[in-house]
Structure 1
Amino acid sequence: MTTLPDVQLSALNWMGPLPVLSALGVGCLLLYFVYPSSPVFPLFNAHEKFDFMATKAKYKFVEDAKGLMKGGLAKCDIFRLTCDTGIRLVLSQRYLDEIRDHPSLSLFDLIRSESHPHIKGLEPFGQNIDILLDLIRKKLTVAQGMYENTIASKVHTELQQESLLVLCTRKLLLRFKMDWHELALYPSIQRLVARLSCIVFMGEEMCRDEEWLRVVTNYAAHSLQANDALQLWPSMTRPIVARFMGSIRILRKEVQAARNIVDRVIKTREIDKENALKNGVAPEIRNDAIQWIQDVAAGRDYEPALMQLGLALVAIFTTADLLTQALLDICGKGELISELREEVLAVLRENGVKKTTMHKLRLMDSVLKESQRLKPISLSTFRRMAMDNIRLADGTQIAKGTGLMIPNEWMWDSQVYENPETFDPYRFVKLREVAGHELSSSLISVSPEHMGFGLGRHACPGRFFAVNQVKIVLCHVLMKYEFKLADGTIPRVQKHGIRLQSDVSAKVLVRRRQETVSLPDHACESE
């Protein structure tokens, strides 16, 4: 179990004089007395009398968010909790149908309020979300089929040239070695996902730029650390606190590095375009996010480098987490792995790698959906901020500015799923055969019973691309490698408040397979 980052004064590298500390203390007291908590809904983990910043209450939430939410829901349908991100309104899932598409509830405004984009170094969290949504819906999803063969080819090449999922250090290359080797799974997967995403986001020539890969893979981790630390302080004091945080200084350097790289790429493209026009040659048409953002922005203001970091934040972390968790879940299940390999061969022999092919991998789809059911990215994937005063059908009033969440309680409910605490890789294959569940049982589908990708108008718009990317990688890993948990490794989900992450320290043993039948050539052409 993870804990909040060390935010004692020494850990924040305080260099300011005593008056700064005094001012912060006075500010905390003012906030405590000027902004008393609302008595409308019960607060189940109120802070102690002299805990002015609610630090102890926040720590308790970080350590046992699931227990606190479960205990609250056992008593009432609506209540408040002191979370690491502040006081939040918690609603039971019976309200989902009424508010899932409510126009006055915003996920993105809630994320923005929790992520401090006004602090230098965290600007990517404040980018124009409408441009990103237009990019995903109008460009990325449409171009998905075009990129699948490129991604499949890149996975094949990466596995040949380096190792299982591109080891983070070239000193540990496996290449085609047939003996067992140990590696940390998550960092390896994260690096491959970063490279594959880079093909789409920055163009294929950039997917091996080591500096760019370092920036995008490190930025997510450092920004989480910084935001976690800032949340312990009253909002008015956070810009001051940030000045003395080492993680913020690192983030500022990474943002500047991203600006340098992206600006260089754009400048090179502009020069190439000018030269082509001078020579009477049609300029190269780019099909990647750099060009797509320019197309969909339609005059709206944005900064290319910050947009790229924003894309990396939403794409790389969640995709790598799902793939890591699925591999950890199937480790040691030899019969299941054999069935998955048989399915891959049967489907790819007939169709090759394309959009419709991935939909036919039903057992793989079920495995991934079951992994996500047991360990979603969050205990609550339905979170919103009220942008106006809202009155619900039962008379409940939610004030403007309220942050709220609905826990994913039905994903682990015995009245919804048989043996909900057990990993059943065939669960959703069997559910597809039940009338009325044919569509909702696929990984890309969202429902109140499975909110792995959220629900309603803010359900993850990039899930179609992410799911296909995960399946393509998994096809190659299954067919090219044997893998098992390293001795002594017992994967444990890492928890921080509502955030759930696959075990980033889990070790696996891997070796090259003796393939009796290889993937079809058209499914994995090398460069």
Structure 2
Amino acid sequence: MDSSSDRLSPGTITAAVVVGLVILQVIRKFFNPPDPLDAIPSFRIPSYPFGFYVGSWNYVKNGRAITEEGYLKYPGKAFKVALANRWLVLLNGRTLIDDLRKADDSLSVAEATNSTLQLEHTMGHEQYHDPYQVAVIRSAMTRNVSACFPVIRSEVVAAFEDLVPAKDGNLDIPNPILLWLTSLVDWISVPAMQTILPIVSRVSNRFFIGLKCRDPDYIKITTQYALDVVSNSLWLHLMPSILRPTAMYLFGHLEPATRATMKLLGPLLQYRIDMDDQYGPDWPEGDRPNDMISWLLDEARGYPNRRTVRTMTRTLLNVNFGAIHTTTQGTLHALYNLAGNLQYVEPLREEVESVVRTEGWTKAAMGKLVKLDSFLKESARIVPGGAVALMRQVTKDFMFSDGIMVPAGTLIGVPILAEHHDEANYENADVFDPFRFSRMREKAGEGIKHQMVTPALDYLSFGIGRHACPGRFFAVNEQKLLLSHILLTYDFKLKDGVRPEDEWVAILGSANSTAELMFRKRQ
């Protein structure tokens, strides 16, 4: 018997599929509860089938521009954009940002960070579930910046001598032609990112682990780790969640970085654990180092799982991730802005020279560098590190003051770049005005306001409220110290005289990674 008549034609199959899809949509519409996110307008999402995925791809390619366009279209309101597999709700304006600031644990920083950086895989399971270093950074580390400042300062000097060995500018040659020729020889050119990054690693880790900070292998591990966390999190987003642990173990950075760091620091960490087990904080003759290892051991007392070489290694790597990336980016942006606007060098030099002359190289001196603080803050305002910040994940349904409700599981954030460039927040907001904030502090009653470390509803580079970056006090003092040293030690300029363009990938921004800076020792 010929069975051809029993076969379904392509047209019949197509019709059946269409009818099935229609029935499915009807069931979803009438039997599923309405999604609260439907009340929040979507931006740049095509209306045709699979438009969500087209919109998410567009956001990967043009995230910065789409965020800024949405900010202008929905002033003071929330809107949403498509990520790879979920919505991102963006909050515009001070009212909604203040709601976020005042929110309780319904809005979780930890869950948002885990969602965006895949913490369990890129930094380790224990670091996601027990990030005890945060308490150390907020308390012991911040308290000890002043006491450890001379050591930090000595490492700044040593690191620049090693990595920026510029010659003395011979400025007393009477012949103008010889002076010009000599000035050309005296200048050296260095890759900015590849120079500042290891300097920041050394300076930060002198504070964290002592002179072991100078080990070239350790510098390489810590600087690469900061880059790998971000890059690995990006490709993990593209994988099914069930495959992520295996993929990260086989191809990721975490295990190799942990093993390599344990090889370098293992004997030191084991010695410190043994001494702490024997003497606690009171070593014989007071020889216990005042550094991050000691503060971590203090915080870990009574928690044996924290007091292992492996756990402390992972913890130090993750402390480095927070410290190195932020400070390197802030320093580079400031250097590019200063080298591109050399008219501001002398006012800053005069301030540093005057303050150091009376206060010495101390944390107190850094607190009196009002113009330099303003310069750094303005650099961070102009380019805050990304188009979106203050990420939170909703852990239970949350309603904002305008009546918008976001359900549990939603990812939210703030268009920080657009906020920082909003004329409602700053006059001439798109203009780089390095002494904008120091002028504000000259007004009566404003002397201690508008500092870089002070979060505000219109300045969000370090977060907001109780979740503001706990390491910002060390980061700002370190940036001031690095810039102060450069100002008093070197003449510097851009190799081609033009401020290098920042680099953007989707909503992530960073200082130019290929630009070169030229240095010459000051006479």
- Distance in 2, matches of 1:116 and 1:276, equals 38
Equivalent residue for 1:83?
A: 83
Preserved contact between residue 348 and residue 357 of structure 1 (Cα < 8 Å): yes
Preserved contact between residue 411 and residue 449 of structure 1 (Cα < 8 Å): yes
Map 1:73-472 → 2, pairs under 5 A: 73-76=71-74, 77-83=77-83, 86-93=86-93, 94-103=95-104, 104-119=106-121, 122-123=123-124, 126-128=127-129, 131-160=132-161, 162-164=162-164, 173-174=165-166, 179-202=186-209, 204-239=210-245, 242=248, 245=251, 248=252, 250-270=253-273, 281-282=284-285, 284-300=287-303, 301-302=305-306, 303-408=311-416, 409-435=418-444, 437-472=446-481
User: What is the aligned length?
Assistant: 465
Preserved contact between residue 52 and residue 82 of structure 2 (Cα < 8 Å): no
Equivalent residue for 1:66?
A: 64
Preserved contact between residue 53 and residue 233 of structure 1 (Cα < 8 Å): no
| Shift in alpha-carbon separation, 1:454–1:253, aligned structure 2, 3 A | same
- Distance in 2, matches of 1:142 and 1:281, equals 23
Preserved contact between residue 138 and residue 470 of structure 2 (Cα < 8 Å): yes
| Shift in alpha-carbon separation, 1:416–1:438, aligned structure 2, 3 A | farther
- Distance in 2, matches of 1:323 and 1:84, equals 32
- Which amino acid letter does the alignment assign opposite residue 193 of structure 2? Y
- Distance in 1, matches of 2:262 and 2:330, equals 29
- Which amino acid letter does the alignment assign opposite residue 190 of structure 2? L
- For residues 242-277 of structure 1, give each alpha carbon's deviation from its aligned partner in whole angstroms, at most 9, with x where no partner exists: 4674xx1x4431122123333221123356679999
Which of the pair has more CA radius of gyration?
2
| Shift in alpha-carbon separation, 1:115–1:48, aligned structure 2, 3 A | farther
- For residues 193-219 of structure 1, give each alpha carbon's deviation from its aligned partner in whole angstroms, at most 9, with x where no partner exists: 1011111222x2211122211111001
- Distance in 2, matches of 1:64 and 1:467, equals 31
Aligned partner of residue 145 in structure 1, secondary structure = coil
Deviates more, 1:256-265 or 1:503-512: 256-265
- Which amino acid letter does the alignment assign opposite residue 293 of structure 1? L
Aligned partner of residue 119 in structure 2, secondary structure = coil
Instruction: Calculate the aligned-residue CA RMSD, in Å.
Output: 2.9
TM-score w.r.t. structure 1 length? 0.81
Equivalent residue for 1:8?
A: none
Cα deviation, residue 79, structure 1: 1.9
Aligned partner of residue 214 in structure 2, secondary structure = coil
Equivalent residue for 2:178?
A: none
Aligned partner of residue 414 in structure 1, secondary structure = coil
TM-score w.r.t. structure 2 length? 0.81
- The unaligned stretches of length 5 or more in structure 1 are 1-32, 165-172, 515-527
Preserved contact between residue 84 and residue 497 of structure 1 (Cα < 8 Å): no
- Distance in 2, matches of 1:58 and 1:64, equals 10
Deviates more, 1:489-498 or 1:435-444: 435-444
Equivalent residue for 1:505?
A: 514
- For residues 311-369 of structure 1, give each alpha carbon's deviation from its aligned partner in whole angstroms, at most 9, with x where no partner exists: 01111000010001100001043331011111111000011122221111111111101
- Distance in 2, matches of 1:175 and 1:146, equals 33
Deviates more, 1:451-460 or 1:322-331: 451-460
- For residues 168-206 of structure 1, give each alpha carbon's deviation from its aligned partner in whole angstroms, at most 9, with x where no partner exists: xxxxx546587111111112111111011111222x221
Aligned partner of residue 146 in structure 1, secondary structure = coil
Equivalent residue for 2:11?
A: none
Preserved contact between residue 44 and residue 55 of structure 2 (Cα < 8 Å): yes
- Distance in 2, matches of 1:241 and 1:105, equals 30
Equivalent residue for 1:42?
A: 41
Preserved contact between residue 262 and residue 304 of structure 1 (Cα < 8 Å): no
Cα deviation, residue 467, structure 1: 0.8
Cα deviation, residue 145, structure 1: 0.3
Preserved contact between residue 390 and residue 398 of structure 1 (Cα < 8 Å): yes
Preserved contact between residue 383 and residue 403 of structure 1 (Cα < 8 Å): yes
Preserved contact between residue 332 and residue 511 of structure 2 (Cα < 8 Å): yes
Preserved contact between residue 67 and residue 387 of structure 2 (Cα < 8 Å): no
- The unaligned stretches of length 5 or more in structure 2 are 1-26, 171-185
| Shift in alpha-carbon separation, 1:124–1:333, aligned structure 2, 3 A | farther
Cα deviation, residue 281, structure 1: 4.6
Preserved contact between residue 155 and residue 473 of structure 1 (Cα < 8 Å): yes
Deviates more, 1:129-138 or 1:228-237: 228-237
| Shift in alpha-carbon separation, 1:429–1:219, aligned structure 2, 3 A | same
Equivalent residue for 1:20?
A: none
- For residues 42-77 of structure 1, give each alpha carbon's deviation from its aligned partner in whole angstroms, at most 9, with x where no partner exists: 3324378676993x5344223322321232233431
Between structures 1 and 2, the one with greater helix share: 2
Preserved contact between residue 379 and residue 407 of structure 1 (Cα < 8 Å): yes
Preserved contact between residue 489 and residue 506 of structure 1 (Cα < 8 Å): no
Preserved contact between residue 340 and residue 497 of structure 2 (Cα < 8 Å): no
Deviates more, 1:79-88 or 1:303-312: 79-88
- Distance in 2, matches of 1:351 and 1:388, equals 50
- Distance in 2, matches of 1:158 and 1:394, equals 52
- Distance in 2, matches of 1:241 and 1:269, equals 34
Preserved contact between residue 273 and residue 284 of structure 1 (Cα < 8 Å): no
